[in-house]
């Protein structure tokens, strides 16, 4: 993968980078002690110290790109709290809180909402099950919203009411890609990449209509959560093993930066799962 550009604002003939503000949670208590997605196998050992070291590489990558990186304190007994993207969804300083599907993760919702409130965001408590930016992705002025495994379709209507923006509902059908951010990567305000087999026919037709020039990911790259990436419009931080995705990004004028989060993949998360964008 290419080296990080020394400047936080990089321009070339087609792409430009804009510094981001993100929230992360250090995986001090990461382990796999239960199974709520197909990636998790609690009978197999995990290495918390390795997870922390890999996470620190992601953290330093963002800092080197000039991002404003904020941290929420991890809570013992909440091993999935490292997947900060699930903690809420934020646009225009309004934080729509998460309400998790599984009891094991439900305490994360109030913890993240407390952080949002303490840091000056206007918090909206959810009336419906949703898992934050794991299932809600902003592309320009439109919100893509996933359902089928975690967030309910009722949360999509609630989301539209909170933000007054168009919400496009997409049904996920492959349990390996149970959150929208595992099946779609937002590259900038007009471009995405996605995995075709993750969606039902209606959703796939909608994506093809909205994004006719999208990057189509391979099954192999999706299987290492290559689409679970984070972009500033030019630099795209991805799973280092997503080699064809890297190639396609480079051909489109982006700068892919690979990181290894293989230990956190054991919990079903990657780059984007560890990254919640804070949009003031």
pLDDT per residue as tens digits for the range 100-126: 999 999 999 999 999 999 999 999 999
Specify the number of domains making up the chain.
1
Is residue 102 in some structural domain? yes
Is residue 82 in some structural domain? yes
Here the CATH number for the domain that contains residue 169 is 3.75.10.10
Is residue 254 in some structural domain? yes
* pLDDT tens-digit readout, 18-69: 999 999 999 999 999 999 899 899 999 999 999 999 999 999 999 999 999 9
Is residue 7 in some structural domain? no
Helix, strand, coil percentages (3-state) for the chain, rounded to 5, are 35, 20, 45
Instruction: Check the CA dihedral 105-55-217-267 and report its sign.
Output: negative
Q: What is the DSSP letter of 62?
A: H
Q: Can you tell me the distance from the alpha carbon of 30 to that of 54, in angstroms, rounded to the nearest whole number?
A: 12
**Cβ count within 10 A of residue 189:** 12
Is residue 70 in some structural domain? yes
Which sequence positions are flagged as catalytic? 179, 273
Q: Can you tell me the distance from the alpha carbon of 177 to that of 199, in angstroms, rounded to the nearest whole number?
A: 9
Q: What is the DSSP letter of 273?
A: G
Is residue 13 in some structural domain? no
Mean pLDDT value across residues 76-86: 98
Residues 6+ apart with CB under 8 A from 45: none
Is residue 176 in some structural domain? yes
pTM: 0.93
* pLDDT tens-digit readout, 118-165: 999 999 999 999 999 999 999 999 999 999 999 999 999 999 999 999
Domain residue limits at 187: 21-277
Token digits for 111?
């913890």
Query: Is 55 in contact with 273 (CB distance < 8 Å)?
Result: no
* pLDDT tens-digit readout, 241-264: 999 999 999 999 999 999 999 999
Is residue 209 in some structural domain? yes
């Amino acid at each position: 993968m290419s080296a990080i550009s020394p400047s936080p604002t990089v321009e070339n003939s087609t792409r430009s980078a804009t510094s981001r503000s993100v929230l992360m949670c250090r995986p001090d208590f990461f382990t796999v002690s239960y199974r709520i997605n197909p990636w998790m196998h609690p009978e197999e050992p995990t290495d918390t110290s390795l997870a922390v070291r890999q996470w620190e590489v992601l953290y330093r990558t963002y800092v080197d790109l000039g991002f404003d990186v904020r941290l929420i304190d991890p809570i013992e007994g909440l091993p999935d709290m490292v997947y900060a993207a699930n903690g809420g969804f934020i646009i225009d300083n309004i934080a729509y809180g998460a309400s998790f599907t599984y009891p094991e993760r439900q305490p994360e919702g109030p913890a993240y909402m407390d952080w949002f409130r303490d840091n000056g965001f206007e918090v909206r408590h959810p009336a419906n099950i949703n898992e934050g930016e794991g299932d809600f992705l902003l592309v320009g002025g439109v919100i893509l919203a996933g359902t089928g495994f975690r967030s309910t379709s009722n949360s999509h209507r609630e989301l539209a009411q909170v933000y007054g923006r168009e919400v496009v509902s997409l049904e996920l059908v492959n349990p390996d890609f149970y959150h929208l951010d595992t099946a779609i990567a937002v590259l900038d305000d007009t471009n995405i990449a996605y995995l075709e087999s993750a969606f039902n026919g209606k959703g796939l037709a909608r994506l093809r209509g909205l994004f006719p020039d999208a990057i189509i990911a391979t099954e192999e790259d999706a299987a290492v959560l290559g689409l679970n990436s984070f972009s500033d419009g030019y630099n795209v931080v991805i799973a280092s093993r997503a080699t064809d995705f890297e190639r396609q990004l480079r051909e489109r004028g982006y700068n892919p930066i690979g990181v290894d989060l293989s230990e956190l993949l054991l919990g079903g998360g990657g780059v984007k799962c560890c990254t919640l964008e804070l949009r003031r």
